[in-house]
Structure 1
Amino acid sequence: MSHEVTTRASEPAEVPVHETEEQILARVRGKARQVRLRTWGLRLALIVLWLGSWELTATKWIDPFFYSKPSLIWERLIEWFTEGTQFGSIWLQIYTTVQEAVLGFVIGTVAGVVLGVLLGRSRYWSDVLAPFIKALNAVPRIVLASLFIIWFGLGLSSKVATVVVLVFFAVFFNAFTGAREVDGNVINNARILGAGRRQVLVSIVLPSATTWILSSLHTAFGFALIGAVVGEYAGASKGLGLLISNAQGTFDSAGIYAGMIVITVIALLAEGLIGVAESKLLRWRPSQASASQAV
């Protein structure tokens, strides 16, 4: 026993390995890459499992005329992008819907931010206008889409108006809350230093509400696409909503799913662009991790 203890004591101790900064960064990046690969692999497996089970079920047990199946939807997409649709090129339909969504999104966002911030800083006017804003927000959007078609016709204007209504309220309430959440002590200190009402609004209120406003844009663009499609569904001469409406009228379930997929891809691309813009606009804001380290 004593000989074993002596032998172990005589063994040289392990020398700790000191990693360089480059090695630590490479190890962290490697682990992050592995996590991303596992995440995307799991996502892909879930999609394959879902589509495979749908294809098998529609082939063996349920009627594909009503429920369609992935192979039929893929064939419809290939047909649209190679041969076109009944109403012209699929790219024309995509361009029409995206144009309506983007125009309404921009107008609704600007109006929502301006009115939200102004009313958020004016308690008197917010109290006066609150019942009217809530009443307008409670009106069903499909009813407004029908009215806009009567007022503005089947063209671009009626679809943009529908999109503006949907986007405005999504942005307005976030901008309103963001303006209300500004620290009053910061505003008071700025006024003591001689800042005017406009300077406080531009230099303090808007930057503080930026996070609230940008977070609403992700949802708002989804609403913009919904508004464009709803407007086209109610009445239009072109657009993705018209394709879906026509597919419904002809009992083409594959066409309905194909239209939904195209709209989903557009929404995901827009979501990515908004995310990039958000990360750049909020680059000035310190992260939670750095803030906690500073404390």
Structure 2
Amino acid sequence: MRATVLDPRNRALVQAVRLALLLGGVFLWWLLTALDLIPVFFFGDPVGVARQLATWFASGTVFTHLSVTLIETLLAFGIGTALGLGIGLWLALNPFLAEVFDPFIKAFNSMPRLIFAPIFALWFGLGIWSKVALGVTLVFFVVFFNVFQGVREVSPVVLANTRMLGAGPRQLLRHVYLPSATSWVFSSLHNAVGIAFVGSVVGEYLGSERGVGYLILLAEGVFDINAVIAGILLLTVFALLLDIAVSFLENHLLRWRPTAGQTVAASA
């Protein structure tokens, strides 16, 4: 089956449809609350949410909280990715050790890791490192399993031919294993961005004096649904921005891959 390639001329139409869906959803939300078809107390209203965001940014208080959450997220994302990449490669290239550690890894991965948040708060205090530790445990396994599988998916024929050409372990790692794992890594990183935010916000819920999660917790305490939604939207926007940054890096590092258009043209 041939892939369906979107005509570049239709990209503007795609963006227009996306914008229309977004604005239509916001308008429907406002209309339902304005007509009292849904209670504002439980669902908020877009005007109140926009007013809350404007108040946060005008006062400047949100920047301190946002910077804390972003630092926690970036640290958890970076450390978890590095550990997942390194340990995933190490075990994938060592079948004996992979077999030894397999039950331990599966057991730890099966644990609901959010329950470790109070333990990390006890170990690392209520600062950023308890949130980073929680985020690392969430990001690590997403990256680890993708890297491990990516290395294991390398074709034996490619490995045999590369060895016949005289490639040593370093050449195999650089020219065969890493390129094979890279696409798997980036597919996991898109998920890891959101998961890193989850770790940071959950940690802030359980004990913190700063962060967007802390703002949301305060708003929930006084039943301010508009502030809760405003905090969620704020986190969503910055998660999307980080995802765009990952996509940019992916396109740069994987520019050697043929595009969908080139693939279809070659198969035509």
- Cα distance, 1:130 vs. partner? 1.2
Name the CA distance, whole Å, in 1 between partners of 2:55 and 2:96.
58
- Cα distance, 1:195 vs. partner? 2.7
Name the CA distance, whole Å, in 2 between partners of 1:264 and 1:294.
39
- Cα distance, 1:192 vs. partner? 3.1
- Cα distance, 1:172 vs. partner? 0.5
Q: How many positions carry a matched residue from both structures?
A: 261
Aligned to 1:181: 153
**Which of 174, 186, 195 does residue 223 from structure 1 map onto?**
195
What's the TM-score, normalizing by structure 1?
0.83
After superposition, the CA RMSD in angstroms is: 1.8
**Which of 138, 147, 162 does residue 166 from structure 1 map onto?**
138
Cα distance change, pair 226–80 in 1 and its aligned pair in 2 (3 A): same
Aligned to 1:55: 30
**Which of 220, 229, 254 does residue 257 from structure 1 map onto?**
229
Cα distance change, pair 37–191 in 1 and its aligned pair in 2 (3 A): closer
- Cα distance, 1:66 vs. partner? 2.0
- Cα distance, 1:147 vs. partner? 1.1
3-state secondary structure, aligned to 1:159: helix
Give the gaps of 5 or more residues in structure 1: 1-28
Name the CA distance, whole Å, in 2 between partners of 1:194 and 1:47.
56
Aligned to 2:3: none
**Which of 69, 76, 82 does residue 45 from structure 2 map onto?**
69
**Which of 16, 30, 37 does residue 41 from structure 1 map onto?**
16
Aligned to 1:103: 75
What's the TM-score, normalizing by structure 2?
0.91
Q: Give, as a single letter, the amino acid of the residue that structure 2 aligns with 1:58.
A: T
Name the CA distance, whole Å, in 2 between partners of 1:63 and 1:190.
66
Name the CA distance, whole Å, in 1 between partners of 2:168 and 2:11.
49
Q: Give, as a single letter, the amino acid of the residue that structure 2 aligns with 1:110.
A: A
1:141 aligns with 2:110: no
- Cα distance, 1:229 vs. partner? 0.8
**Which of 90, 100, 103 does residue 131 from structure 1 map onto?**
103
Provide Cα deviations, 1:69-116, integer angstroms capped at 9, x if missing partner: 1111111101100124xxxx2111111111111111111101101111
Cα distance change, pair 281–61 in 1 and its aligned pair in 2 (3 A): same
Q: Give, as a single letter, the amino acid of the residue that structure 2 aligns with 1:91.
A: F
Give the gaps of 5 or more residues in structure 2: 1-5
Cα distance change, pair 67–289 in 1 and its aligned pair in 2 (3 A): closer
Aligned to 2:126: 154
Aligned to 1:286: 258
Name the CA distance, whole Å, in 2 between partners of 1:44 and 1:286.
30
Q: Give, as a single letter, the amino acid of the residue that structure 2 aligns with 1:146.
A: P
| Alignment of structure 1 residues 105-120 onto 2, 5 Å | 105-120=77-92
Moved over 4 A (4+): 291-295
Name the CA distance, whole Å, in 2 between partners of 1:292 and 1:269.
30
Cα distance change, pair 80–183 in 1 and its aligned pair in 2 (3 A): same
Q: Give, as a single letter, the amino acid of the residue that structure 2 aligns with 1:55.
A: W
Name the CA distance, whole Å, in 2 between partners of 1:294 and 1:63.
56
Provide Cα deviations, 1:184-204, integer angstroms capped at 9, x if missing partner: 122223333333323322231
Aligned to 1:18: none
Cα distance change, pair 259–46 in 1 and its aligned pair in 2 (3 A): same
Aligned to 2:246: 274
- Cα distance, 1:121 vs. partner? 2.3
Q: Larger relative CO (CA 8 A, sep 6+): 1 or 2?
A: 2
Name the CA distance, whole Å, in 2 between partners of 1:269 and 1:292.
30
Provide Cα deviations, 1:196-248, integer angstroms capped at 9, x if missing partner: 32332223111121111111111111111111111111111100110111111
Q: Give, as a single letter, the amino acid of the residue that structure 1 aligns with 2:37.
A: W
